[in-house]
């Protein structure tokens, strides 16, 4: 199973404003993200990202995707194909058998997956905005991960996608 972290970020590495607002993310970026997630047919997110994502009108595009929320809490889920895991490894166990798995935040979850050396590839869609305050793409843990650039491409006139392979130790 290939584990892919996929995130839209500001040019200074934020995934949302401090109030969780992500209205600065382009429709084109959503299209790339939605396509990758639908192709993998599964998604792992943290608790806050779960509630933000499932409230978006665009989430209907992902209604058939098997979704795992990583949280320490026991929470009522919104769909029958949504599950709870209490750790990154447990989330991957729930999705055993899938060829690819998309991990998509938040910052604490992203850091936990990287710290545990569970990510194989990283997609960063860089939006043309700088946020003075916000939620960093990697938050809450100390780690170092080396990457090898696989591809870079323009999503729009001012937006790029960076695709990296994680260099395993």
The CATH number that applies at residue 74 is 3.40.430.10
What is the spatial distance between Cα 73 and Cα 15, in angstroms, rounded to a whole number?
Answer: 23
Give every residue of the chain whose pLDDT is below 70, as ranges: none
pLDDT digits (tens, 9 = 90+) for 1-27: 999 999 999 999 999 999 999 999 999
- Separation between Cα atoms, residue 78 and residue 2, nearest integer Å: 26
Going 146 to 93 to 58 to 153, the CA torsion angle's sign is positive
Q: State residue 76's pLDDT score.
A: 87
Collect all residues with Cβ–Cβ distance below 8 Å to 45 and sequence separation of at least 6. Answer: 53, 67, 68, 69, 70, 103, 104, 105, 106, 109
> So what's the pLDDT on residue 56?
86
Cβ burial, residue 23 (10 Å; 0-12/13-18/19+): exposed
How much is the pLDDT for 2? 98
**What's the pLDDT score for residue 96?**
96
Q: Is the peptide bond before 154 cis (omega within 30 degrees of 0)?
A: no
pLDDT at 19: 92
Residue 156 pairs with which residues in a beta bridge?
159
8 Å CB contact between 42 and 103: no
pLDDT of residue 74: 84
* Residue span of the structural domain in which 62 resides: 2-167
The predicted pLDDT at position 75 comes to 86
- Report how far apart, in Å, the C-alpha atoms of 136 and of each of 7, 113, 156 are: 11, 15, 23
Question: Does residue 112 contact residue 88 with C-beta atoms inside 8 Å?
Answer: yes
| Res 127: pLDDT | 97
The pLDDT score that the predictor gives to residue 140 is 74
- H-helix or E-strand containing 167? strand 159-167
Residue 68's pLDDT is: 98
What's the confidence (pLDDT) of residue 169?
Answer: 77
How many independent structural domains does the chain possess? 1
- Write down the pLDDT at residue 44: 98
């Amino acid at each position: 199973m290939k584990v892919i972290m996929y995130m839209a970020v500001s040019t200074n590495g934020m995934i949302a404003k401090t109030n969780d607002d992500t209205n600065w993310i382009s429709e084109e970026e959503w299209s790339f993200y939605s396509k990758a997630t639908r192709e993998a047919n599964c998604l792992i997110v943290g608790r806050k990202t779960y509630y933000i994502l499932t409230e978006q009108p665009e989430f209907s595009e992902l209604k058939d995707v098997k979704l795992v929320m990583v949280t320490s809490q026991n929470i009522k889920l919104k769909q029958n194909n949504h599950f709870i895991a209490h750790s990154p490894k447990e989330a991957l166990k729930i999705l055993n058998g899938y060829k690819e798995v998309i991990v998509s935040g938040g910052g604490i979850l992203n850091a936990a997956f990287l710290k545990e050396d569970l990510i194989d590839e990283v997609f960063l869609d860089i939006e043309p905005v700088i946020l003075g305050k916000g939620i960093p793409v990697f938050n809450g843990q100390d780690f170092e991960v080396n990457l090898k650039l696989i591809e870079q491409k323009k999503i729009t006139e001012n937006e790029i996608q960076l695709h990296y392979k994680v260099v395993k130790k």
